[in-house]
Amino acid sequence: MFKTISQALKVKEIRGKMIFTLLMLVVFRIGSNIPVPGINREYLAQMFSGDNMGLFELFNLFSGGAFNNFTIFALSITPYITASIIVQLLTIAFPYFERLAKEGMEGRKKMAQITRYMTIVLALIQGLGLTVGLFKQTIVDQSWFTFIVITLILTAGTAFLMWLGEQINEYGIGNGISLLIFGGIVARIPSGIASVWNKYQEGTMSIITLLLFVIFAILVIVGIIEIQQGTRRIPVQYAKRVVGKKMYGGQSTHIPLKVNQAGVIPIIFALSILQFPLTIMYFFPNTPFYEFCEKYLSPGGSPGVWVYAVLNVLLIIFFNYFYTAVTFNPVEVAQNMKANGGFIPGIRPGRPTVDYLSKVMSRISIVGAIFLAVIATLPTIISQYTGLNVHFGGTSLLIAVGVALDTMRQLENQMVMRNYQGFLK
């Protein structure tokens, strides 16, 4: 990795893209610290003084702390992520979106435009909900004009981040939206280390617990790298065919099926469902509903930690299979192979190929699902028995390592493309 970065810095064009990406991330971090006007900061600090804030902590993870501080980037790019997932699901339910997905570049442009409009609508709804709901008591001037202004500021912040991500895609290195999430996660690492160190100095955490935590973090990072890079290669043979006076085909290749095809999406879906009742209970304190959620559904409850862990595992496995089925279509892969004269050795083209690909994908998906479940569940159990607030530690590491690997892969591709261009010249 360091060798690749050092070589890339020697190339003027790639060095410019890397500097541009870093500057965009700096702009993102500056905006994450600009507070929304007219807010009572002391009351806001009291709202998020607890360790377990339910779904709010997930929002805070994606915003890099901007949500808790109610800054102009408090919504982060979560509306864009939601809109992207909705558009992907619509390609299955509606023929119009399915047709757009198959139209190539023009179809992708239209889908990107629909995603942008949907992002603005979702940002307006979420911004209004936060302003007149959760953060209402922190607003000094309780007038509708103030509510509308704050809602527009939050929506504009999300639109700006969406534009920032697109600028990184066009002029920088890596996926812009993913890098913004990565920047928010990395920005919280120093405060997390300081919190752990303070607990150690105060005597609330022993040196053994600290060492076990460090070893656990290293093992998780190594495991994430192995699973993220892991693929099952399905061999494909292309038959020779004569077109005019030229012969095509005859070569062997493979289809790489990723072990973790769904990425971090199953964890996000599962956390959203599990954290929803824990979020609602904060609006109904001192009620039987609050006591029930605190005891049986909260990761800090007595039997609740195990109920939470079991439900988390089951939901992650379910959403892993669901999202893999959405993103990987064995029928389409089999049809493309057949149309180009390709076949899997020992497997007949057509329906047998579809069944074989579905069978292989189902088997490797269970490995990815179990891996995601372990990554997402272990931090909850560790938090219960060590007192460390790492409920979202596994998710943070998974996102950060995955984005880092993807960015390095794109950087290497840029280097390879440049070498090919130099060879052709």
Per-residue pLDDT, 160: 93
333/354 Cα distance (integer angstroms): 8
68 Cβ contact list (under 8 Å, min separation 6): 44, 48, 56, 60
> What are the E-state strand segments in 127-278?
231-238, 241-243, 246-248, 252-258
Distances 81 to 26, 118, 276, 343 between C-alpha atoms, Å: 21, 10, 18, 36
Q: What is the pLDDT of residue 423?
A: 40
Full pLDDT tens readout for the chain, 425 residues: 677 777 777 778 888 888 998 999 999 988 888 888 888 877 777 766 655 555 566 667 667 777 777 888 888 888 888 888 788 778 777 888 878 877 777 888 888 889 899 999 988 988 888 788 777 788 888 888 888 999 999 999 999 999 998 899 888 888 888 888 888 888 877 777 777 788 778 777 778 777 877 787 788 788 888 887 888 888 888 776 666 666 655 677 888 888 888 777 787 777 777 777 776 776 676 788 778 877 777 766 677 778 877 888 888 888 888 888 877 888 888 888 887 778 888 888 888 888 888 888 888 888 888 888 887 777 766 666 655 555 556 677 777 887 888 888 888 877 777 665 444 44
Query: For residues 241 and 15, is the Cβ–Cβ distance under 8 A?
Result: no
CA dist 187 and 135 (Å) reads 24
Tokens standing for 40? 């009572």
What was the pLDDT predicted at 381? 67
Task: List b or e across 279-301, with b for residues whose CB sees 16 or more CB atoms inside 10 angstroms.
Answer: bebbeeeeeeebeebbeebbbbb
Q: How many CA atoms lie within 13 A of 236 on its CB side?
A: 23
| CB neighbourhood size of 351 (10 A) | 10
What are the chain's domains? 1-187 (1.10.3370.10)
What is residue 263's predicted lDDT score, i.e. its pLDDT?
76
Cα 255 to Cα 332: distance, rounded to the nearest angstrom: 13
pLDDT of residue 104: 73
For residue 120, the model assigns a pLDDT of: 93
Q: Give the per-residue pLDDT at 153.
A: 92
Between CA 372 and CA 355 the distance in angstroms is: 25
What's the pLDDT at 49? 61
Q: Are 72 and 36 in contact (CB under 8 A)?
A: yes
